[in-house]
């Protein structure tokens, strides 16, 4: 089939699948500010702490603009817990490495990680207590720093109407949260965790248009092959191969046995050139085909500002079109790369 | 200081260009939303307003350095006889780094001790180091996570720089610190700086008081051996670390490397590339045994190298310059200054939740 026609067919399929999605999604929704109460969250953590070894939540980090994970093991530590749009990290990522009974605070997007872990058998659900946060969106610290010209941060305040005010030595800057939100929040379909044992607020339902999720991917796809190549060469060139994207990725399960560093076999050389960098990122993206839960950690943590999530999103859009599969949504699902059908509905066999 | 000069704002570009005509010049450039050091060219957007995301360490200590290339040649007369041909290049071009920060410049001094001030100097490092002049920009404003004063540095420290530049309202005040610096001043700066000295001093002093000191030991933290050897302390302090290498690769003072032969059938290159103690394979032995199998042990090594082992070996010098990059760019906001601050405590438990 002609590639253009094929793309059109894939897009039509995707639309149909999303149509189906909207029909099953529950109707009621709340709009506006967060319903999460920090006191309620602390109460839940205090209660849960009696039954688990550690609760992972957020506390204030090294400056007023950064939150950092907080591992609570004693009741007197609960007071450090915070919840606000600075709580960006995906705390579910710690679960597979902890061989204990753990409770974890998750936003809607992060909760998909837990569902994906369940699908892939990476966690024992009976040992995990999920404390859900109905989330109205977080911030991109990079976007805020760009707006305040990377000055040191003296104070951060949140306004009722969904604003953030950041004080630096040069003065105060007020921004709408929507204007400094990471891209993933703009198309978030799961503000309320898809799996939870406790919820620290009233459930909220997404007001986002499901059809808009992959708009950016479709837009990017319109570029010519040469334009795309030039784009990625410029981006990958900055990569310093620190592997922050890999290590912060909840679904990168190879970790210490990663192809990027293995000597035997020696898949990728230690040369710091574009070929090797590209190779690493492409393999990272492909290993996440039908597994990436789009938490965006890879892109958030990149110290060189490389939009690596774009690659993963593109593959997710293809997986959705080909297999009607969305990672990390239903615990009973099977990731398409974990299974095999003799005949796939949306994949045309080679005519022999 | 007699060796000072002044460059008006409008002549700053010409100053850089003048240097670029005689040497390879590295400058902080805006690339996307990040600032990185790149060889100067007219089409780059220069950015001196904030510290670069990554330090200029790669100019002298490249992330991946070809030490030599090799070719195996079979003797056509006797195919069992194989000869190895080596090709090593040790001539390095004259280089100037413009726009490093005092913390970045201090980093090179940390490298000098193990790489050049020994009986067996490293020819690759030494060669580039000797050819390189460091033109440092004094800091106008501390960034998030900066703590240079807490480890004995400062936003206008001269240590490690050949030239110190301070941006004033009307131009740039230039101080030559070393002989290499004087050369640059004599060749490229025409105006006298004496009338601007007081203004520059005032600017430098004003910034210093704004840098945070989260360690609070006047630049000389004393690490408690008991806490340093406590597994519990480290397990708790770095539970949130994801064990990536962003902190080590962005660090102006991390200098560990790995050597690999990258070869095809009959030829290849011996590469020296950055390594990082935060990676599992850093201490992985051929037998499969790993003396530092967990992330907390690896993190302990990183802090230990900077605040315990290096000072022990080199007269108490701390191998951390307080640039704050490992804090600023850490995926989980792990804060080394907080950890060092907690390590000092002689009494009290390590498990106060910090």
For residue B263, the distance in angstroms to the closest alpha carbon of chain A comes to 9
The kind and range of the H/E element at B319 are: none
> What is the separation of C-alpha B87 from the centre of its chain, rounded to a whole number of angstroms?
29
Report CA dihedral (A329, A316, A217, B245) to the nearest 10 degrees: 100
Whether B268 contacts chain A with CB within 8 A:
no
Q: In this model, does residue A328 exceed pLDDT 70?
A: yes
Is the pLDDT at B290 greater than 50, yes or no?
yes
Residues A68-77 have a mean pLDDT of: 97
How many whole angstroms separate alpha carbon A72 and alpha carbon A53? 9
B38's CB contacts (< 8 A; 6+ apart) are B26, B27, B29, B31, B44
Distance from CA of A1 to the nearest CA of B (A): 38
pLDDT band at A265 (very low <50, low <70, confident <90, very high): confident
- Cis amide bond preceding B38, omega within 30: no
Torsion of CA B180, B156, B36, B151, to 10 degrees: 110
How far does A89 lie from chain B, in Å, by closest CA?
Answer: 7
Question: Which of B246, B249, B273, B297 is the mutation pick for testing A, counting most A CBs within 10 A?
Answer: B246
Tokens of B114: 């193990």
Q: Please indicate whether, in this complex, the C-beta atoms of B34 and A77 are within 8 angstroms of each other.
A: no
**A179-188, A194-203, B342-351 — which is least confidently predicted?**
B342-351
| Strands A128-132 vs B171-176: parallel, antiparallel or unpaired | unpaired
Q: For residues A304 and A339, what is the distance between their CA atoms, to the nearest angstrom?
A: 36
Residue B353: the pLDDT is: 41
- Partner-chain residue, chosen from A93, A234, A303, that has the shortest CB–CB distance to B329: A303
The enclosing H or E element of A75 equals none
Calculate the CA B150 to chain-centre distance.
17
Q: Give per-residue pLDDT as tens, A208-243.
A: 988 889 999 999 999 999 999 999 999 999 999 999
B214 pLDDT tier (thresholds 50, 70, 90): very high
| Mean pLDDT to the nearest integer, A133-160 | 93
Taking an 8 Å cut-off on Cβ atoms, the answer to whether B50 and A74 are in contact is no
CA-based R_g, chain A, Å: 21
Q: What is the 3-state secondary structure (H, E, C) of B162-181?
A: CEEEEECCCEEEEEECCHHH
The H or E element spanning position A247 is helix A244-248
> Tokens 């093991």 map to which residue?
A73
CB contact under 8 A, B246 and A301: yes
Q: What was the pLDDT predicted at A340?
A: 86
A238 to B333: CB separation less than 8 angstroms, yes or no? no
Report yes or no: A304 at the B interface, CB cutoff 8 Å. yes
Chain A residue with minimum CA distance to B249: A242
Mean pLDDT along residues B122-137: 97
State the DSSP code for B2: -
- Taking an 8 Å cut-off on Cβ atoms, the answer to whether B353 and A272 are in contact is no
pLDDT of res. A178: 93
**Residue A100: is its pLDDT beyond 50?**
yes
Of A260-264, B110-114, B149-153, give the lowest mean pLDDT range.
A260-264
Q: Across the strands, what pairs with B27?
A: B38
Q: Which of residues 21 through 60 in chain A touch B, CB cutoff 8 A?
A: none
Among all residues of chain B, which has the CA nearest to that of A89? B332
Tokens 């206008």 belong to B156
Q: Identify the residue with better confidence: A17 or B340.
A: B340
* Residue corresponding to tokens 């109407």: A161
pLDDT of residue A261: 83
Q: Which residue of B has its CA nearest to A298?
A: B331
Residue B352 confidence (pLDDT): 45
Report pLDDT for B159: 94
User: Looking at CA atoms only, how far is residue A304 from chain B in angstroms?
Assistant: 6
Q: Find the mean pLDDT for residues A310-331.
A: 94
pLDDT higher than threshold 50 for residue A3: no
Q: Chain A residue closest to B207 (CA)?
A: A169
Q: Grade residue A349 by pLDDT with cuts at 50, 70 and 90.
A: confident
**Contact criterion met (CB < 8 Å) for A150 and B49:** yes
CB–CB of B47/B33 below 8 Å? no
CB B226 within 8 A of CB B308: no
**Chain A contacts in chain B segment 198-227 (CB below 8 A):** 210, 212, 214
Cα–Cα distance measured from residue B137 to residue B154, given in angstroms and rounded to the nearest whole number? 12
The confidence score (pLDDT) of residue B200 equals: 95
- Higher pLDDT among residues A8 and A231, named by residue: A231
Q: Is the pLDDT of residue B351 over 60?
A: no
pLDDT digit string (tens) for A271-285? 889 999 999 999 999
- A251-259 contacts: CB < 8 A, separation 24 or more? A251/A113, A251/A116, A251/A288, A251/A291, A251/A292, A251/A293, A252/A284, A252/A287, A252/A288, A253/A96, A253/A120, A253/A122, A254/A287, A255/B280, A256/B280, A256/B281, A259/A283
- Distance (Å, rounded) from C-alpha B57 to C-alpha B115? 14
B:152-181 residues touching chain A, CB 8 A cutoff? none
Residue A261 sits at the chain B interface (C-beta within 8 Å):
yes
Residue A100 forms contact with B (CB below 8 Å): no
DSSP calls for A119-132: HTT-S-GGGEEEEE
- In 3D, which of A213, A198, A244 has the Cα closest to residue A103? A198
Could you tell me the two tokens for B147? 């703590």
Q: What is the pLDDT of residues B218-275, one digit of tens each?
A: 888 999 999 999 999 999 999 999 999 999 999 999 999 999 999 888 999 999 999 9
CB contact under 8 A, B34 and A152: no
pLDDT bracket for residue B347 (50, 70, 90): very low
Place of tokens 């630096």: A168
Report the mean per-residue pLDDT for chain B: 93
pLDDT mean over B283-294: 93
Strand order in the sheet with B24-31: B34-39, B24-31, B95-100, B132-137, B163-167, B171-176, B4-8, B191-192
What is the spatial distance between Cα A78 and Cα A68, in angstroms, rounded to a whole number? Answer: 14
What is the distance between the alpha carbons of residues B190 and A93, in angstroms, rounded to a whole number? 58
Place of tokens 């921004």: A175
Residue A11 pLDDT:
52
pLDDT of residue A224: 97
Q: Which residues contact A254 (CB under 8 A, 6 or more apart)?
A: A287
pLDDT for B205:
93
Query: With pLDDT > 70 as the criterion, what percentage of chain B qualifies?
Result: 97
Rg (CA), chain B: 22
Q: How confident is the model at residue A12 (pLDDT cuts 50, 70, 90)?
A: low
For the segment B283-295, the average pLDDT, to the nearest whole number, is: 93
How many residues in total does chain B contain?
Answer: 354
| Closest-CA distance of chain A to residue B209, Å | 13
Min Cα distance B193 → chain A (Å) is 28
Across the range A166-173, mean pLDDT stands at: 94
What residue of A is the nearest CA neighbor of B212? A152
Please, are residues B242 and A247 in contact by the beta-carbon 8 Å criterion? yes
Give the pLDDT of residue A9.
56
Q: Looking at beta carbons, which residues of chain B come within 8 Å of A90? A: none
pLDDT at residue B170 in the model = 93
Overall average pLDDT of the B3-12 stretch: 94
Inform me whether the pLDDT recorded for A25 exceeds 60.
no
Residue A34: per-residue pLDDT: 61
Please indicate whether, in this complex, the C-beta atoms of B239 and A71 are within 8 angstroms of each other. yes
Q: How far apart are CA A227 and CA A220, in angstroms?
A: 10
Q: What is the pLDDT at residue B350?
A: 45
Distance of residue A302 Cα from the nearest chain B Cα, in angstroms: 8
Our measurement of the distance from residue B151's CA atom to the centroid of its chain's CA atoms, rounded to an integer in Å, reads 15
Chain B (328-347) residues lying within 8 Å, Cβ to Cβ, of chain A: 329, 331-335, 337-338
| Mean pLDDT value across residues A241-270 | 88
B233 — contact with chain A (CB < 8 Å)? no
- The mean pLDDT value for A195-208 works out to 93
**Could you give the 3-state DSSP secondary structure of residue B222?**
coil
Q: Are A120 and A291 in contact (CB under 8 A)?
A: yes
Can you tell me the distance from the alpha carbon of A197 to that of A321, in angstroms, rounded to the nearest whole number? 32
What residues of chain A lie within 8 A of the CB of B65, using their CB? Answer: none
Partner-chain residue, chosen from B31, B144, B280, that has the shortest CB–CB distance to A63: B144
What is the 3-state composition of chain B as percent helix, strand, coil, each rounded to the nearest 5?
A: 35, 20, 45
CA of B325 vs chain A CAs: smallest distance (Å): 9
| Residue from the list A80, A238, A263 with its beta carbon closest to the beta carbon of B36 | A238
Chain B contacts of A152, Cβ < 8 Å? 141-144, 146, 210, 212
- Return the structure tokens found at A55: 């609760």
Q: Per residue in B147-204, pLDDT tens?
A: 999 999 999 999 999 999 999 999 999 999 999 999 999 988 888 989 999 999 999 9
| pLDDT averaged over every residue in chain A | 89
d(CA B285, CA A253): 22
> Tokens 């404390």 appear where?
A131
Domain parsing of chain A, residue ranges: 3-138+181-338, 139-180
Q: Ranked by mean pLDDT, which of A4-13, A231-240, A266-275 comes out on top?
A: A231-240
- Which residues of B fall within a CB distance of 8 Å from A142? 33
Distance in Å, alpha carbon of A297 to nearest chain B alpha carbon = 8
pLDDT in tens, B49-85: 999 999 999 999 999 999 999 999 998 899 899 999 9
Q: Residues A170-191: what's their mean pLDDT?
A: 94
pLDDT of residue A348: 80
- Pairwise CB contact (< 8 Å): A152 & B141: yes
Please provide residue A104's backbone torsions phi and psi, each rounded to the nearest 5 degrees: -135, 140
- What the block records as the tokens of A198 is 């406790």
Q: Which SS3 state, helix, strand or coil, does residue B8 take?
A: strand
The per-residue pLDDT for range B91-110, each reduced to its tens digit, is 999 999 999 999 999 999 99
The minimum CA-CA distance between A85 and chain B, rounded to whole Å, is: 15
Q: Is 0.95 exceeded by the ipTM?
A: no
C-beta of residue A144 within 8 angstroms of C-beta of residue A88 = no
For residue B63 the two structure tokens come to: 């992330």
Q: Could you give the 3-state DSSP secondary structure of residue A57?
A: strand
Asked whether residue A18 carries a pLDDT value surpassing 60, the answer given is no
HSE, side-chain direction, 13 A CA sphere, residue A226: 0
Query: Which chain A residues are within 8 Å of B271, Cβ to Cβ?
Result: 269-271
Q: Enumerate the β-bridge partners of residue B263.
A: B268
CB contact under 8 A, B210 and A152: yes
CB contact under 8 A, B273 and A77: no
Q: Is B293 on the interface with A (CB under 8 A)?
A: no
Question: What pLDDT sits at residue B2?
Answer: 55
What does each C-alpha distance from B60 to A23, A301, B263, B318, B346 come to in angstroms?
A: 60, 27, 25, 21, 39
């Amino acid at each position: 089939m002609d590639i253009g026609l094929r793309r059109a067919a894939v897009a039509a399929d995707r639309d149909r699948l999303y149509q189906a999605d909207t029909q099953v999604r529950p109707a009621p929704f709340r709009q506006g500010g967060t319903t999460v109460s920090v006191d309620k969250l602390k109460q839940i953590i205090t209660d849960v702490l009696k039954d688990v070894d550690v609760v992972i939540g957020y506390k204030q980090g090294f400056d007023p603009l950064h939150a950092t994970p907080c591992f609570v093991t004693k009741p007197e530590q609960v007071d450090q817990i915070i919840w606000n749009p600075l709580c960006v990290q995906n705390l579910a990522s710690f679960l597979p490495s902890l061989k204990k009974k753990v409770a974890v605070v998750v936003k809607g997007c992060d909760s998909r990680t837990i569902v994906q872990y369940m699908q892939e058998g990476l966690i024992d659900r009976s040992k995990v207590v999920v404390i859900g946060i109905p989330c109205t969106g977080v911030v991109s610290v990079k976007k805020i720093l760009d707006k305040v010209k990377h000055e040191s941060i003296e104070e951060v305040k949140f306004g009722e109407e969904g604003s953030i005010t950041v004080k630096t030595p040069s003065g105060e800057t007020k921004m709408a949260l929507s204007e400094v939100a990471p891209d993933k929040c703009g198309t978030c379909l799961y503000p309320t965790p898809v799996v939870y044992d406790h919820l620290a607020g009233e459930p909220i339902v997404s007001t986002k248009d499901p059809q808009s999720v992959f708009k950016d991917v479709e837009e990017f796809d319109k570029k010519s092959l040469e334009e795309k190549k030039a784009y990625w060469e410029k981006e990958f060139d900055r990569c310093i191969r620190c592997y922050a994207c890999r290590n912060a990725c909840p679904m990168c399960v190879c970790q210490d046995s990663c192809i990027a560093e293995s000597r035997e076999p020696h898949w990728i050389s230690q040369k710091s050139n574009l070929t090797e960098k590209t190779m690493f990122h492409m393999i990272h993206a492909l290993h996440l085909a039908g597994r990436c839960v789009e938490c965006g950690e890879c892109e958030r943590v990149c110290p060189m500002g490389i939009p690596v999530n774009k690659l993963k999103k593109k593959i997710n859009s293809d997986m959705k079109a080909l297999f009607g599969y969305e990672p990390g949504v239903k615990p009973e699902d099977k990731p398409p790369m974990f299974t095999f059908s003799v005949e796939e509905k949306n994949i045309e066999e080679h005519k022999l | 200081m007699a060796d000072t000069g002044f460059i008006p704002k409008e002549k700053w570009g010409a100053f850089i260009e003048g240097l670029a005509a005689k040497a390879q010049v590295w400058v902080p450039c805006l690339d996307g939303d990040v600032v990185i050091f790149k060889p100067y060219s007219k089409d780059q957007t220069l950015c001196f307003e904030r510290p670069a995301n990554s330090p200029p360490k790669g100019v002298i200590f490249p992330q991946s350095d070809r030490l030599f290339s090799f070719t195996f040649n079979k003797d056509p007369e006797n195919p069992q006889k194989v000869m190895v041909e080596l090709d090593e290049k040790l001539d390095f071009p004259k280089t100037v780094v413009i726009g490093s920060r005092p913390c970045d410049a201090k980093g090179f001094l940390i490298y000098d001790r193990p790489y050049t001030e020994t009986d067996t100097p490293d020819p690759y490092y030494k060669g580039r180091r000797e050819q390189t002049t460091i033109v440092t920009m004094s800091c106008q404003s501390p960034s998030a996570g900066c703590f240079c004063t807490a480890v004995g540095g400062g936003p206008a420290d001269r240590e490690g720089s050949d030239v110190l530049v301070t941006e004033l309202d009307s131009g740039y005040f230039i101080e030559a610190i070393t002989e290499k610096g004087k050369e640059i001043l004599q060749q490229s700066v025409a105006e006298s700086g004496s009338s601007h000295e007081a203004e520059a001093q005032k600017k430098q002093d004003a910034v210093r008081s704004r840098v945070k000191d989260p360690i609070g030991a006047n630049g000389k933290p004393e690490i408690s051996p008991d806490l340093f050897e406590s597994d519990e302390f480290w397990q708790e302090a770095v539970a949130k670390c994801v064990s990536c290498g962003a902190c080590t690769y962005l660090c102006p003072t991390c200098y560990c490397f790995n050597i690999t032969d990258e070869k095809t059938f009959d030829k290849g290159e011996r590469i020296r590339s950055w390594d990082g103690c935060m990676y599992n394979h850093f201490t992985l032995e051929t037998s499969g045994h790993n003396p530092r199998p967990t992330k907390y042990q690896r993190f302990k090594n990183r802090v230990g190298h900077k605040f315990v082992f290096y000072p022990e070996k080199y007269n108490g010098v701390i191998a951390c310059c307080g640039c704050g990059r490992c804090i600023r760019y850490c995926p989980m906001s792990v804060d080394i200054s907080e950890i060092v601050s907690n390590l000092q405590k002689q009494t009290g438990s390590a498990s106060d939740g910090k």
